[in-house]
Amino acid sequence: MQEEQNYNFAYLDEQTKRMIRRALLKALAVPGYQVPFAGREMPMPYGWGTGGIQVTAAILEPEDTLKVIDQGADDTTNAVSIRKFFQKVAGVETTEKTEEASIIQTRHRIPERDLEEGQIMVYQVPIPEPLRFLEPRETETRKMHALEEYGLMHVKLYEDIARHGHIATTYAYPVKVADRYIMDPSPIPKFDNPKLDNSPALQLFGAGREKRIYALPPYTPVKSLDFEDHPFETQTWDEPCALCGATDSYLDEVIMDDKGTRMFVCSDTDYCTTRREAGHVGPDAQAVGEAAE
């Protein structure tokens, strides 16, 4: 179509890509530090992943294979829309297989399958500042990061324990990067936090509306905040995935009817499909297969 020929490869012009790449390099040099960048207006709304899209657009090469997930799934509407966007403006290969992807753009999840060296994760970030809900002013939070003044965060976590008996943060759970910066891992469930640590993949975070980029180079130590007597722990489920029987994956709860029937299934659709193709069967696989037909 003529319309698309008016745009550069991967939509952004080369000057803009260069500006974003500079911010990325700085972010990699100071892991966990939020680098301000001159975020552009994108043809998707703020809140739909414009930060991640700009990062992907800046690093994308014609030979890349792109995977886009939202809530762990390749077929959620926004993941479909972003994948289509890059097919249209960059013409790159896309995939739903985690192992085939060279770049994985994600919202709210990290794939269950271990990432590999050479892979790049791009996270969509709504509020990059982990201290934002404790201190709304950017001028203050930047100072707090600069002085490594994180007492407020520890007080918040302590108050959670005093009030609820445990830390009441279940997603966007704050982490400390390379023993220096406290970082928001984007709203991934804390279940995924251990995957951030010492990952062989390169991890990039883009916040479009807030105009911030930050990064974790491969094999960066990432520690979820906790206390000695209240160690960090992840979510667990009492039952396996209804479709593939996995007991080690993050499960979404699906309400089946108005009588309270529920089913738990893998949020990572590729993980679930791969397991089922390999012959794994969950307790409800039969029933669901029929309902879908």
Partner 1 sequence: MYVAVKGGEKAIDNAHRLLAETRRGDTGVAELSVDQIREQLKLAVDRVMTEGSVYDPELAALAIKQARGDLIEAIFLVRAYRTTLPRFGTSKPVETGKMRLERRISATFKDVPGGQVLGPTFDYTHRLIDFALAAEGEPPRAEAREDFSEETLAAPHVLDLLAEEGLVERPERDDEAVPGDITRHPSEFPMDRATRLQSLARGDESYLLALGYSTQRGYAKSHPFAGEIRLGRVSVEYVPEELGFPVEIGEIELTECNMINQFAGSKKVAPQFTRGYGVAMGHGERKAMAMSLVDRSLRAVELGEEVKAPAQDQEFVLEHCDNVQATGFVEHLKLPHYVDFQSELGLVRRMRQEVESNLAEAAE
Q: Please identify every residue annotated as catalytic.
A: 32, 241, 244, 266, 272
When the beta carbons of 29 and 254 are compared against partner 1, the nearer one is 254
Q: Which listed residue (7, 152, 223, 232) binds partner 1 by CB under 8 A? A: 7
Residue 251 is a binding residue for partner 1 (CB under 8 A): yes
Q: How far is CA 89 from the centre of its chain?
A: 23
| Shortest separation between residue 59's beta carbon and partner 1, angstroms | 19
- Per CB under 8 A, does 144 bind partner 1? no
What's the closest the beta carbon of residue 166 comes to partner 1, in angstroms?
A: 8
Relative orientation angle of helices 50-59 and 77-90, to the nearest 10 degrees:
30
Residues from 25 through 64 that contact partner 1 (CB under 8 A) = 36-43, 45-48, 50
265 neighbors 243 (Cβ within 8 angstroms): yes
What count of residues does the chain have?
A: 293
- The amino acid at 258: D
Number of shown-chain residues binding partner 1 (CB under 8 A) = 63
2 makes contact with partner 1 (CB under 8 A) = no
Should residue 233 be labelled a site residue for partner 1 when binding is judged by CB under 8 A?
Answer: no
What single letter denotes the amino acid at residue 67? K
Quick check: 201 and 120 in contact, CB under 8 A?
A: yes
Alpha-carbon separation of residue 162 from 26, 87, 153, 159 (angstroms):
39, 50, 14, 5
Determine the Cα–Cα distance for residues 136 and 127; give it in Å rounded to an integer: 11
State in angstroms the smallest separation of the CB of 224 from partner 1. 14
Rounded to 5 degrees, φ, ψ at 121 are: -100, 135
Is 145 a binding residue for partner 1 by CB under 8 A? The answer is no
The set of residues, in sequence order, having a beta carbon less than 8 Å from that of 269 and lying 6+ positions away, is 69, 72, 73, 74, 75, 96
Does position 189 bind partner 1 by CB under 8 A? yes
Scanning 150-158, 174-182, 197-205, 249-257 for contacts with partner 1 by CB under 8 A, the matching segment is: 249-257
CB atoms within 10 A of CB 109: 23
Q: Does 265 bind partner 1 (CB under 8 A)?
A: yes
Q: Rule CB under 8 A: is residue 199 a binding residue for partner 1?
A: no
- Which residues on adjacent β-strands are paired with residue 203? 121, 216
CB of 272 to partner 1, least distance (A): 11
Q: Where on the chain is the footprint of partner 1 (CB under 8 A)?
A: 7, 13, 36-43, 45-48, 50, 70-73, 75-78, 80-81, 84, 107-109, 126, 136-139, 164-165, 168, 170-172, 187-191, 209, 211-212, 235, 250-254, 256-257, 263, 265, 267, 269, 288, 291-292
